[in-house]
Amino acid sequence: MNLLIVTACPNGMVTSVLTSRLLEAAAHRLGWSTRVEVHDPQAIGSPLSERDIAEAELVVVVKTGPLALDRFVGKRLVQSTPAQALRDPEAFLREAQQTAEPYAGAVDAPVATAPADKPRLVAVTACPTGVAHTFMAAEALQQAAIKLGYDLKVETRGSVGARNQLDAQAIAEADAVLLATDIEVDVTPFAGKRVYRCGTGVALKQPEATLKRTLEEAAVLAGAGAPANSERKPEKTGVYKHLLTGVSYMLPMVVAGGLLIALSFVFGIEAFKEEGTLAAALMTIGGETAFKLMVPLLAGYIAYSIADRPGLAPGMIGGLLAGTLGAGFIGGIIAGFLAGFSALAVVRWVKLPASVESLKPILIIPLLASLFTGLVMIYVVGAPVAQMLAGLTTFLDNMGTSNAILLGLLLGAMMCIDLGGPVNKAAYAFSVGLLASQSYAPMAATMAAGMVPPIGMGIASLLARRKFAQSEREAGKAALVLGCCVISEGAIPFAAKDPLRVIPASIAGGALTGALSMAFGAKLLAPHGGLFVLLIPNAINHALLYLLAIVAGSLLTGVIYAVIKRSEADPLAVGAAQGGSV
């Protein structure tokens, strides 16, 4: 059988790639030859040639949006969604082989414009790193909308910018707006619309309930930055959300700076001290420029999250002062909140005559908020925070093996408790912040532990295959890949189904990995990248020991879960699977 696989999930590039890979693997197990085409919102990967199409005996199209299929007219073709295709890829392909019919062309009926009586929603998804939750939440919401019969358009604001951007017409026609975001996003386009807010984790785990609540509970957004819900549920986690917004915007600077410093070490650990050399130039770009901008960016976007654009300038000024005074990332966090809330206070409480009101955003707010933030940083916050940070840095650099192991154990466990949730993000933000103080060991422990849950689930699905349904085995293979990329969310399908076993097993492995990483003295200069960072010289020291820590924790998680998991075949699957044999 000569099979063509086409995947197109406009809001979930991760979903498109994984779907294509899992279907391709299933086809190979069936002895079929394959060609794959993955559609991305901005490009097409591995485009099919005319010869590929001409030789194809079967075309499988898995999509969540409109897609032109005219080139397949006359070919036996089946259309489906990721949720249906991934439930059991082999069974799906067998059924496709039997039910496929020649494609007649014309209109792509399954994705025709929704009838006017369908509820119309638009949504925005965004998470701090802009990698996993952003796209997985968008995909979950789209699948839920199909089940509920809703017309939904989702804009993803990930690490590569906004994709599938909502236009003015879509927003105007929407009955309500869903903001499934863990960071603050620009809500100006939604002024006057009914808006509902929640986190990406909620949208991912409870997509149908989230869409229903959006229609029922959304409240009118009075203007940019105004509260979205009358109940104002997110207010309880407002400080946390502002902090994550700052961390999100700071991350690219940290990654660029850390890797540039690592590249300078390729020429020798102290080669950068020789002026005029390439090593010195790399250190200037990474260490003396990018890392100096980390704290101002952190503070600036914390303030931006609180007060919108009026908070940006005073926040960055306060952040730069924190760096100058030696208060580091802790001082930057304080400066961001000082600037944000002072700018917000000026916006709300300083009343001016209408004739000079236009001076407020360009003169009054920057002047008063910057003055207040700067004076507080210089005379109140700077010195004591600098002393505290210096003490923390000294402790981290000189702590004994036992203390290092305890810190690694704590950070590792936190990374695995909620798989990308608040506790995980808190450990991550703490470790990223320490990079500005040249403390790289906690970052290594945090990143290593973040890989453990999905890799562990993948290992468990291999060790105890009989206990896992076919769909879980396929999910385990995907989890292995996601784990190598530090996407802890790859373990969510397992945790959602069996949390009382998956979470403890993950915590045990993550704690072991974190403790071993600290015990080995591993130091990581980049806050992301997973195992691929190992390919960059000097980005991680003790690379083999670091890899050993990851393998040890992942094996522990995999073995524990393989042992304690209940067999999927116990009550029902035995009778349904091959004649009752296990």
Residues carrying an active site annotation:
9, 127
Is residue 149 within 8 A of residue 118, CB to CB? The reply is: yes
Report the largest interatomic distance among the alpha carbons of the chain, rounded to a whole angstrom. Answer: 84
Please tell me whether residue 127 adopts helix, strand or coil conformation: coil
CA pair distance 55, 52, nearest whole angstrom = 5
Is residue 85 within 8 A of residue 26, CB to CB? The reply is: no
Q: CA-CA distances (angstroms) from residue 226 to 116, 194, 196, 208, 221?
A: 30, 12, 12, 26, 6
CA pair distance 312, 266, nearest whole angstrom = 37
DSSP 187-254: -GGGTTSEEEEE-HHHHHHSHHHHHHHHHHH-EE--STT--S-SS-GGGGGHHHHHHHHHHHHHHHHH
Residue 166 amino acid letter: L
- CB-count exposure of residue 112 (10 Å: 0-12, 13-18, 19+): exposed
CA pair distance 298, 64, nearest whole angstrom = 36
Q: Which of 131, 213, 129 is nearest to 179 (CA)?
A: 213
Contacts of 168 by beta carbon, 8 Å cutoff, 6+ apart: 189
Helix or strand run (H / E) with residue 28: helix 13-29
Residue 226 amino acid letter: A
CA pair distance 495, 479, nearest whole angstrom = 12
The set of long-range contacts for 80-88, using a CB threshold of 8 Å and a minimum separation of 24, is 81/143, 81/146, 82/7, 82/9, 82/12, 82/15, 82/19, 82/139, 82/143, 83/143, 85/19, 85/23, 85/60, 86/19, 86/22, 86/471, 86/474, 86/475, 87/471, 88/470, 88/471, 88/474
